[in-house]
Amino acid sequence: MRRSALSVAAATLLLVGLGAGSAAGATLPVPAATPAPAVTPAPAPAFSSGVARTAPLKTLRASHTTDGPTWKRTAALRATPNLQASAVATADIRVTYSAGFSPAARTAFQAAVDTWKTQIRSTVPITIDAVWAPLDAGVLGQAGPANFRRDFTGSPRAGTYYPDALANVLAGRDLDTAHPEITANFNSTFPSWYLGTDGRPGAESYDFESVVLHELGHGLGLVGTLDGLSPPNWDDQGRGYWGLDSPGDAPTIFDRFIVDGAGTDALNTTTYPQGSTALGGLLRGAAGGGQWKGAAGVAAAGGSRPKIYSPANFEPGSSVSHLSESAYPAGTANALMTPYIQNGESLHDPGPIVRGMFADMGWTVSTTPAPAPTPTSPTPCVKASGVTTDRFVATGPTKRGTLAMTGGTTYELAMSGYAGVPVSSASAVLVNVEVAGPSTAGYVMLGSACGGTTVTAQQYVAGGTRAALVSVPLDSYGRMQLKISSGSASVAVTVVGYYKPAASSTGLFTPLTRTRASGAVIRAGAPLDIATNGVGGLPATGVDAVVLQVTVQTPTAGGAVSVGPGGVTPTVAQQTYTAGRSISQLVVARRSADGKLRVAMSGGTAAVLVDIWGYYGAASPAGGQVPHRIVPTRVLQAATAPDVTFTVPNLPSDARSVVLLTTVTNPTANGFLGAAAGNTTGGIPGVIQYYAGNPIGNLVIVPVGPGGTVRFKMSVGTGKLYADLLGYNGTS
């Protein structure tokens, strides 16, 4: 075998700059996989028809920083001793420990194993040989697949190597009963291990659980063969190669998803010949550097291809085998599988992008949180309360996860450190919550975790799909809670942005006179870019995100509408629609650098009305309004008059607009609800399309009249009107 099989997976992880992880969210129960048919084990050697290649170990080294500790409160959500009480193990992972592992080291190692058990599904046991022994100075650990296999019965792609554990899953049996799937060595003489499982190493310690979690990620599949060193001396000539046993041998499944910035495969020998400087340049950051093209990984990254670590100087053991350090820096949810980790840091969750990449390679992964118990950490859980003075930070849309929910059960979902929400400092999140395929009619409720007040975010009907944009305060562990009133449904949570304590001159809300940016007809597969600079006074610069009302008018077929920056077709839906029925949705969207928005439909054809209401960003010449988040409060209860003016209580004198979650139930006719300041006369802008007998809600930002008054007016018929106050925008 040539030098470490082309340094396959080249997974050296330096302990500098690994981001702290968030409180590890529990995972929803995953339906048990259908057991694979019983197969009589093949006679030894049990390699099926596959060709096996031994895999090298990946090395993890320690480096030092003086930045101090950075960690996430994983202990707050972990039940004693390791596995979260509400997480469901969907894989059988077994560890054989060598002599020398202390009880504490075994406990920390097992904590990492228990996490991986809830992330992947395998009907075939996965075995790990764990060795606790002296390694070279500064080396923390080495781990990797025991072998790779290709062209086995059940292999999805011919001529492609799969790591042992994944090959077994795809084959439905253990292809080599005589050997483990993963080998892992950890340095028994390293002097600065932190062996606790609460994710809080001291400033001079290295979190053993994080190190094990990272290395097992390589052992399970985050491994490739792309190499920047040239045979036979393995020196750096600026060239690039791939192939497991030697240049030209088959690649791994990981390799097949690596592309350049234009989407061209790194294995495309027309563009990137073996041993060429063109391929070498890609591995060193040219042509956009390595990126991941798999659909699940792209979706987890918010619609953009995940960035692969491709520094200008090729780093054996690190380059093209990790996520980009600069794209997923310390403190973000995807930092575990970047190449650097430092003293005082911990991360106890693989992250959504890694889960997506695993799904692309063939794993069945679990991405959904489960009901979480009340934390038992010595640090008390504190629910959100009072009023916060914030700035809004647009991040998405990025899907946090999808939950299989049942009525009456409260689910607590960790948000800090996920989907662009920072580990700390976020007081609330702005999320789009979609209820899909409910078995009965009902409503979804959201609120702060730790027993916080909930608010009805959206009504739903049996079999339909509805979404709602809503801001939700977080508890002291960075969590929100969700509950549906009845039936069962799939509930997806997508992060649009978050609110943080006021500390900058941006993130302010500036209202604009409602102005239509487009009313063009859009069809599925033909997205439209819309220019927004100057529309309604929207400036070309200083805009972090635009606040829009998007209405899909009488679509010809069902589907979903998506809005994002111009030039890139968005993949995350803001609202689902059905044939023949118009629907409106408040949308907060980021723009491209040239001030454009792209609107896409997944089905049918419809006129899509895009109205600009305002924006979040730097203070306008007239002065931006400061967002204030509050715990949701009901301010209008079942008003039956079709035209009602009501007072929002307890608003300060400087309040200029309010954020209301507004619902129409039992409408007697088809029409729309208008919302405006209480002293408005004449036409009132529509905010909700409604249909007779069908309840529906929408988030609205409404200016207030004298005394904090707001006016609602139904265009046709009557119904019951509700409004919950989620916050207000003021001059200070």
SS (H, E, C) 229-244: CECCCCECCCCCECCC
348 and 420 share a domain?
no
> Would residue 621 count as lying in a domain?
no
Q: According to the model, what pLDDT value does residue 59 have?
A: 56
Per-residue pLDDT reduced to its tens digit, 399-456:
777 777 788 877 777 788 777 888 778 899 999 998 888 889 998 888 888 777 688 8
Q: According to the model, what pLDDT value does residue 553 have?
A: 93
Q: According to the model, what pLDDT value does residue 67 have?
A: 53
Q: According to the model, what pLDDT value does residue 288 have?
A: 95
355 and 425 share a domain?
no
The 3-class SS string of 463-498 reads CCEEEEEEEEECCCCCEEEEEECCCEEEEEEEEEEE
Distance CA 691, CA 467 (A): 16
339 and 449 share a domain?
no
Distance CA 626, CA 303 (A): 30
| Average pLDDT of the segment spanning 213-236 | 91
Query: Residue 393 belongs to a domain with what CATH number?
Result: 2.60.120.340
Beta strand 596-601 pairing with 528-531: antiparallel
What SS3 class is residue 547? Answer: strand
650 and 729 share a domain?
yes
pTM: 0.55
What is the chain's percent helix, strand, coil content, to nearest 5?
Answer: 10, 40, 50
DSSP characters for 398-453? EEEEEEEEETT--EEEE-TTSTT--SS---EEEEEEEEES-SS-EEEEEEETTT--
257 and 213 share a domain?
yes
Residue 468: strand pairing partners: 433
Distance CA 26, CA 84 (A): 6
Lowest mean per-residue pLDDT among 180-194, 524-538, 565-579, 662-676: 565-579
DSSP characters for 191-257? TTEE--SSS---TT-EEHHHHHHHHHHHHHT-----B--BTTTTB--S--B--SSSTTSPPBTTGGG
Cα-based distances in Å from 472 to 413, 416, 479, 530: 12, 12, 9, 30
Number of domains making up the chain:
3
Distance CA 307, CA 298 (A): 10
416 and 306 share a domain?
no
Domain boundary at 364, 399, 415, which? 364
Distance CA 518, CA 546 (A): 14
Specify the amino acid at residue 83.
L
Distance CA 457, CA 697 (A): 7
268 and 207 share a domain?
yes
Distance CA 154, CA 81 (A): 38
**Helix (H) / strand (E) containing 105:** helix 103-117
> Would residue 544 count as lying in a domain?
no
Per-residue pLDDT reduced to its tens digit, 354-400:
999 999 999 988 654 333 333 444 456 788 888 888 899 998 788 77
User: Which residue carries 């291990």 as its tokens?
Assistant: 193
Per-residue pLDDT reduced to its tens digit, 562-617:
999 998 888 778 888 999 999 998 999 999 999 999 999 999 999 999 999 999 99
> Would residue 36 count as lying in a domain?
no
By C-alpha distance, which of 643, 701, 703, 634 is closest to 673?
643
Ranked by mean pLDDT, which of 153-157, 164-168, 207-211 comes out on top? 164-168
Instruction: Determine contact, residues 684/657, Cβ cutoff 8 Å.
Output: no
262 and 123 share a domain?
yes
Q: Which two tokens stand for residue 294?
A: 């798999």
Domain boundary at 471, 501, 531, which? 501
> Would residue 85 count as lying in a domain?
yes
154 and 247 share a domain?
yes
| Average pLDDT of the segment spanning 79-95 | 57
408 and 464 share a domain?
yes
Q: According to the model, what pLDDT value does residue 302 have?
A: 83
312 and 451 share a domain?
no
Per-residue pLDDT reduced to its tens digit, 668-725:
999 999 999 999 988 888 899 999 999 898 899 999 999 999 999 999 999 999 999 9
Is 83's pLDDT higher than 60? no
> Would residue 584 count as lying in a domain?
no
Q: According to the model, what pLDDT value does residue 21 have?
A: 28
Range of the domain at 474: 387-501
> Would residue 333 count as lying in a domain?
yes
Instruction: Determine contact, residues 661/712, Cβ cutoff 8 Å.
Output: no
Beta strands of 63-115 (E only): which ranges? 91-97
> Would residue 535 count as lying in a domain?
no
First-to-last alpha carbon distance for the chain, in angstroms, is 68
Per-residue pLDDT reduced to its tens digit, 480-495:
888 888 888 888 888 9
Domain boundary at 485, 501, 517, which? 501
Q: How crowded is residue 184: how many other Cβ atoms within 10 Å of its Cβ?
A: 23
Instruction: Determine contact, residues 9/182, Cβ cutoff 8 Å.
Output: no
> Would residue 490 count as lying in a domain?
yes
707 and 664 share a domain?
yes
Per-residue pLDDT reduced to its tens digit, 246-259:
888 999 999 999 99
